[in-house]
Structure 1
Amino acid sequence: MRHPVVMGNWKLNGSKEMVVDLLTGLNAELEGVTGVDVAVAPPALFIDLAERTLTDAGSAIILGAQNTDINNQGAFTGDTSPAMLKEFGATHIIIGHSERREYHKESDEFVAKKFAFLKENGLTPVLCIGETEAQNEAGETESVCARQIDAVINLLGAEALNGAIIAYEPIWAIGTGKAATADDAQRIHASIRAHIAEKNADVAKNIVIQYGGSVKPENAAAYFAQPDIDGALVGGAALDAKSFAAIAKAAAVAKAQ
């Protein structure tokens, strides 16, 4: 049975004080909560502080990161390697986020190389996929998602998706306040799982597929009630301990039913 994962993507937000306060508050809010994995992805500069804060608290919160390079060392100014992330305890690494694809011109093929290198280094890729508003209106959502997943499958085979996480994030819903309805999100999640099942049914059955895009405490339960939605990749709400914990608790409750 799939285990839900709720992950907070802090994006380019934070300070030393905020890292300690947020993680301390989140750890307290999640005391006694079971049945859901909770992860956070701070900016790279704060991963060390986040690791120390979580370790000191004896926290079960999983540490992640927002990006990786496809090299472990060398002349690659400004980049962060999987080996470095691993040394600081980060295990769940976001790749393919729409902001990276748009602002840094990362192609499907380049994201697939990141996926491969994370797996090679024993880390968990959190593969973001999703369509623009124009693609959504043109009825291209399912084909766009399939294309982005197939970049990984074509490079590595469907079995490489084992142990990874897919995060479906409609780009038009990220940080906009807009959100897909729970029924619409379920339809796309089901199509993603069906597409993977065409290559490998066991992988499709077991892979965690998160929803992302303006997930809040007010709408989280409706998403998590859907059979193919296995948690969330959370942006703005992840910067508030009570809000983020409420989302995680909703996932735990929904999957326990």
Structure 2
Amino acid sequence: MSLLTSNPPQQCRWHSFKTTAALEQAATQTILQAALQAISLRGAFQIVLAGGTTPRRVYESLRNADADWAAWHVYFGDERCLPADHVERNSWMAAQAWLNHVAIPLTQIHFIPTEKGTQAAASAYTQTLVGIELFDLVLLGLGEDGHTASLFPDHELANTANAPAVIVVEDAPKYPPQRVSLSAHRLSAARKVIFIVSGATKQQAVKNWRNGIAIPAAAVNPTNGVDVYLEAALLA
């Protein structure tokens, strides 16, 4: 099991919003601005998506944006081992909320093929990520237990320098137990990382995080730090 003490402390910038709607609006604008910058500088925008309720509403707002969709390349931070059309898959949620409604080429939307099983999916996605040095933007959520993507407490976080890009999770504490996740090390290889956090049930996890307790979210540790967008009430 990876220990966080082997790496420098995570640098967090905390951005609080009075309402969930304000948080979601800010996150949406940040995504669009990151896309504009990446496309201007490098001709493409590589984004990693999170699952969850708050990201879903952000995705719904993106469907109406005026963006250069042809330059977007979409990846996923984790996926549940369920049939491809299962409503609890992150890919299904993102497709229904956003991806089915915009002109991103299908060849540039990279789902994790977990319907093939954990090992085959992890191997395939490892190959998909070959050649991507840094993601432009990684979106992450936060669970009540401090997990992010499918990196759970008391499980392998894969945050060391030699960690694989993609890991298999066979015994997740949440349904379904079998999942595939980008490692903390691979999620950290990004120009920008944003955590989107809402809901009163996350308060203890946020408190632990701010107090320096080594929750899984703290294992995502890009060189330039992370930005945490959260409801002001969670800082109480």
Band the TM-score falls in, shorter-chain normalisation: 0.3 to 0.5
Q: TM-score, normalised by structure 2?
A: 0.36
Higher-RCO chain (CA-CA 8 Å, sequence separation at least 6)? 2
More helix by share: 1
